Amino acid sequence: MTLPASLRKCLLFLGVAAVVAYCLAPFGWMLVSSLRRTSDIFDNSPLPSPPSLENYRAVFDPSQAFTRALLNSLVVAGVTTCLALLLATFTAYAMARLEFRLKRLVLTLIIATSMFPVVSIAVPLLKLFVGLGWINTYQAMIVPSMSFTLPLAVWNLTAFFRQLPDDLEQAAMVDGCTRGQAFRRVIVPLAAPGLFTTAIITFIAAWNEFLIALSMTNKPEMQTAPVAISKFSGATRFETPFGSQMAAGVLVTVPLVIVVLLFQRRIVAGLTAGAAK
């Protein structure tokens, strides 16, 4: 059963086109809808005519506190990523390089925590934070976010460290470095791409978090961007502002899309390192 080469090529092309369309069409629709005027938001034409930035202006209207929400997201996701990366680098190094008892158990435990239903953590922490007066604070969102970002980072980095040949450190240590120096001067610079990729993946996970941010805040000025746009209200109470929702969605997504486009190779490598073993 062999197809002629030209037909096979054609089928392959159709397949690729289908995959690309599947992935991009809904996102494209969001983009197109965000550029329509409020009056023709229900148009189903493939391109906005005339295109307008009206929705984007509405998003940045001070009453929506959207800029503040973006800033909150940046702080929460940024701090979470830095903390997780710092702790994970040491742990992942031990996992990849040192032999010690219970290693497999420890690694299994760390990875298992990332599979944990977030709500099982959020409910008791919510009660605890209410008691501490932490509601509507950054730490109330950062601390629970560690529960899924830290295992993710450990896992990714372990896979990266494992790929670096042992001989490099051995050589450095033969040349008189201590293990700590070998780690700092040889491993960290070599693992920089891995650290960077892990940072991106961790950041995206933290940026996209919703349940914790929703539960731990009730003031609009402390909400993160995903929560803020889910609560977007229109000029009048009875009309859902689809246009500005789409515009806000685009704005929250675009930074991620740019990062993804720039570093797609690395991200794919990092994602599959964590999983495809």
Partner 1 sequence: MAETQTPARPAPPAARSERPTAPARRRRPPRATAGTARLAALLVSPTLLVLGVVVLYPTIVALQQSLYGTRRLDPKTGFVEDSEPFVGLQNFAAIFDEAGSRFWNAFWNTTFLTVTTVLLETLIGVAMALIMHRAFRGRALVRASILIPWAIPTAVTGLLWRWIFHSDGIANALIGHQVLWTTEGFHAKVAVIVADVWKTAPFVGLLVLAGLQVIPDEVYEAARIDGAGVLRRFRHITLPLVKPALLVAVLFRTLDALRMFDLPYILIGAQKTSVETLSMLAQDQAANVRFGPASAYAVLLFVYVFLIALAFVRLLGADIVGDDGKSARRRRRLPRRPQGVAA
Judged by CB under 8 A, the chain residues 125 through 184 that form the site for partner 1 are 125-128, 143-144, 146-147, 150-151, 154, 158-159, 162-163, 165-167, 170, 174, 179
Task: Decide: is 7 part of the binding site for partner 1 (CB under 8 A).
Answer: no
Task: Decide: is 37 part of the binding site for partner 1 (CB under 8 A).
Answer: no
- For residue 169, the Cα-to-chain-centroid distance in whole angstroms is 32
- For residue 62, the Cα-to-chain-centroid distance in whole angstroms is 27
Nearer to partner 1, 105 or 236 (CB): 105
Which ranges constitute the DSSP H helices of the chain? 5-34, 54-59, 66-97, 103-114, 118-132, 139-163, 166-174, 179-182, 188-207, 211-216, 225-230, 242-262, 264-275
Q: CB neighbours (10 Å) of residue 236?
A: 7
Minimum distance from residue 221 beta carbon to partner 1 (Å) = 18
Minimum distance from residue 172 beta carbon to partner 1 (Å) = 13
Q: How many positions of this chain bind partner 1 (CB under 8 A)?
A: 104
Task: Decide: is 204 part of the binding site for partner 1 (CB under 8 A).
Answer: yes
For partner 1, the binding residues in 48-77 under the rule CB under 8 A are none
For partner 1, the binding residues in 90-109 under the rule CB under 8 A are 90-91, 93-95, 97-101, 103-104, 106-109
Distance (Å, whole) CA 15 – CA 117: 36
Q: Measuring CA to CA, which residue among 195, 225, 196 is closest to residue 77?
A: 225
Task: Decide: is 33 part of the binding site for partner 1 (CB under 8 A).
Answer: yes
